[in-house]
């Protein structure tokens, strides 16, 4: 059987297959894909393999959760494939074994920019959704603390500020994800929105969400009421609640919003953030709180910081404590190979040199294969502060030197487009 080695020395997957399988010319070999589409059945044997998200799940489970680059990739390839990686597998195994009569556990995904925290979070949420949990996904908490054009003073409390646009948009997406739950869960008390509008006790949550979507002015308060209801009722055991927050460090960071008299708005004064903080408090039972840090959208943090202590700050760390930290790192050799084969399969690697050995090594060394969430061109030998966007439709992170020594032989002085020309003899 013809086994084309991607690059010598690390054709782990292909070598393994070559030894095991019998020669069969018509066999369609795909070592980087797995047919197991149910996240509950993913395990270490599926590590570094891509599983396909069905179009219905993409629409319902992830109306707003996926990173924008990954969404572009889904559109380009006409399919959504997620790689099974150890961080997600770890959290899923914890979720399977946890005791849901005890207070909710915090899980925190952390790692350098572009390593795959958001994608791991999405994988875990897919698992929760297929297991029938109620998924409360806040795709990016940073969007709630900056660039808000309309900041209304809250009608219910004097010192708070509402964000109608963000709240109503989030409620719409929430409805898309959890439609089947909204008719079953009932409110436990009466909510009065205005003189003429109120939601009685015992009405289905669908009405509450409708109220928030239609009457944009009270949507932030509706979000608060909704979170309160879910917190109270998750403990009663009918359903399990998964609270997923991406960019959770926004809840304890700073805002860039200003009041009309140009003074800064504090985080406590924002209704949405206040309610989110109450949700992140682990005083409720019957679910899990899965969060991911994010430096990319955060305000007033150094670009290089990625550890929980640095991004959450003192207050945030104390509130999140105790949590299960899950580090997310760059691609390993096997994962890189899998990604490379996937892109070859999807006809994304077009440059003839990217298919040869030195080309693929170059890309690896230059850190140009990135995880599946940003789009990329195909060549970018040049540098710059931005992550090199080559080889991948949707990645943010460099798969930097995985095995640096090997790369040094060929790669290290070929990097920048503005390099000086090689005048030295290369070691062949």
Partner 1 sequence: MALYRLSAVRWSRYNPYYMEPEPRREVYVSEKEKDEERELKRVRPIKAATSGTSSSLFSDSVISKFINVMMQDGRKVLAREIMTQTLETIKRKQVEKYHTATETKKLEIECNPYNVFHQALENCKPVIGLTSIQRGGKYYQVPIPLTDNRRRFMAMKWLITECRDNKHRRTHMYEKLAQELLAASANEGNVVKKKHDLHKMAEANRAYAHYRWW
- The site for partner 1 (CB under 8 A) is made up of 72, 75-79, 346-348, 350-351, 353-354, 356, 358-359, 362, 375-382, 384, 389-390, 393, 414-426, 428
**Residue 339 C-beta: closest distance to partner 1, Å:** 16
Which ranges of 28-141 does DSSP label H, i.e. alpha helix?
55-60, 68-77, 86-97, 117-130
Instruction: Report the relative pairing of strands 105-110 and 323-327 from DSSP bridges.
Output: parallel
Nearest to partner 1 of 331, 348 (CB atom): 348
Distance of alpha carbon 423 from alpha carbon 415, whole angstroms: 15
Nearest to partner 1 of 82, 242 (CB atom): 82
**Residue 294 C-beta: closest distance to partner 1, Å:** 24
* Total count of residues recorded for the chain: 428
**Residue 421 C-beta: closest distance to partner 1, Å:** 4
Distance of alpha carbon 204 from alpha carbon 233, whole angstroms: 13
**Residue 420 C-beta: closest distance to partner 1, Å:** 6
**Residue 36 C-beta: closest distance to partner 1, Å:** 23
- Per-residue CA distances from 427 to 10, 94, 116, 197 (Å): 21, 49, 36, 78
Nearest to partner 1 of 55, 132 (CB atom): 55
Nearest to partner 1 of 96, 416 (CB atom): 416
Question: Which residues fall within 8 angstroms of residue 251, CB to CB, at 6 or more apart?
Answer: 141, 245, 267, 273, 276, 277, 280, 316
Nearest to partner 1 of 9, 382 (CB atom): 382
Three-state DSSP class for 51? strand
DSSP string, 193-221: -SSS-EE-TT-BHHHHHHHHHH-GGGHHH
**Residue 427 C-beta: closest distance to partner 1, Å:** 9
Phi first, then psi: what are they for 251, rounded to 5°? Answer: -70, -20
**Residue 366 C-beta: closest distance to partner 1, Å:** 9
Nearest to partner 1 of 36, 79 (CB atom): 79
**Residue 369 C-beta: closest distance to partner 1, Å:** 14
Query: Residue 371's CB: how many other CB atoms inside 10 A?
Result: 30
- Per-residue CA distances from 423 to 308, 367, 419 (Å): 46, 24, 11
Of 64, 111, 58, 75, the closest CA to residue 375 belongs to 75
**Residue 407 C-beta: closest distance to partner 1, Å:** 14
Phi first, then psi: what are they for 15, rounded to 5°? Answer: -65, -45
Distance of alpha carbon 230 from alpha carbon 209, whole angstroms: 13
Nearest to partner 1 of 153, 384 (CB atom): 384
Nearest to partner 1 of 26, 421 (CB atom): 421
Nearest to partner 1 of 74, 272 (CB atom): 74
Cis? peptide before 322, omega within 30° of 0:
yes
**What is the distance of C-alpha 220 from the center of its chain?**
24
């Amino acid at each position: 059987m013809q086994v084309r080695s991607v690059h010598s020395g690390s054709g782990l997957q292909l070598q393994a297959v070559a030894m095991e399988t019998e020669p069969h010319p018509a066999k369609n070999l795909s070592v980087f894909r797995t047919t197991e589409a149910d996240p509950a059945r993913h395990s270490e044997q599926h590590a570094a393999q891509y599983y396909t998200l069905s179009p219905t799940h993409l629409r319902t489970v992830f109306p707003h959760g996926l990173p924008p680059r990954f969404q572009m990739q889904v559109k380009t390839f006409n399919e959504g494939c997620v790689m099974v990686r150890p961080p997600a597998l770890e959290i899923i195994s914890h979720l399977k074994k946890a005791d849901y009569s005890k207070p909710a556990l915090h899980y925190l995904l952390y790692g350098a920019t572009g390593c795959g925290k958001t994608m791991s979070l999405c994988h875990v949420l897919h698992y929760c959704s297929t297991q029938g949990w109620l998924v409360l996904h806040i795709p990016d908490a940073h969007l709630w603390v900056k660039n808000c054009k309309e900041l209304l003073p809250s009608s219910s409390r004097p010192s708070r500020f509402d964000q109608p646009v963000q709240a109503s948009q989030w409620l719409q997406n929430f409805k898309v994800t959890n439609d089947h739950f909204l008719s079953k869960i009932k409110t436990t008390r009466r909510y009065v929105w205005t003189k003429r509008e109120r939601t009685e006790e015992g009405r289905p949550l669908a009405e509450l969400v409708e109220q928030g979507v239609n009457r944009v002015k009270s949507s932030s308060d509706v979000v608060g009421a909704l979170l309160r209801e879910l917190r109270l009722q998750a403990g009663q055991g009918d359903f399990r609640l998964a609270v997923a927050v991406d960019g959770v460090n926004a809840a304890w960071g700073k805002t860039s919003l200003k009041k009309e008299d140009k003074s800064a708005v504090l985080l406590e004064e924002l209704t949405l953030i206040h309610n989110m903080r109450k949700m992140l408090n682990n005083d409720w039972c019957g679910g899990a709180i899965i969060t991911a840090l994010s430096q990319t959208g955060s305000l007033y943090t150094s670009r290089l910081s990625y550890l929980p202590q640095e991004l959450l700050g003192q207050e945030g760390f104390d509130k999140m404590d105790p949590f299960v930290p899950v580090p997310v790192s760059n691609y390993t050799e096997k994962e890189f190979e899998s990604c490379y084969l996937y892109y070859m399969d999807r006809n994304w690697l077009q440059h003839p040199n990217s298919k040869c050995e030195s080309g693929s090594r170059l890309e690896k060394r230059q850190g140009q294969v990135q995880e599946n969430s940003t789009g990329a061109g195909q060549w970018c030998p040049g540098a710059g502060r931005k992550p090199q966007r080559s080889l991948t439709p949707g990645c943010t992170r460099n798969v930097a030197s995985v095995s640096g020594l090997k790369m040094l032989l060929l790669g290290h002085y070929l990097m920048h487009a503005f390099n000086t020309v090689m005048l030295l003899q290369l070691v062949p």
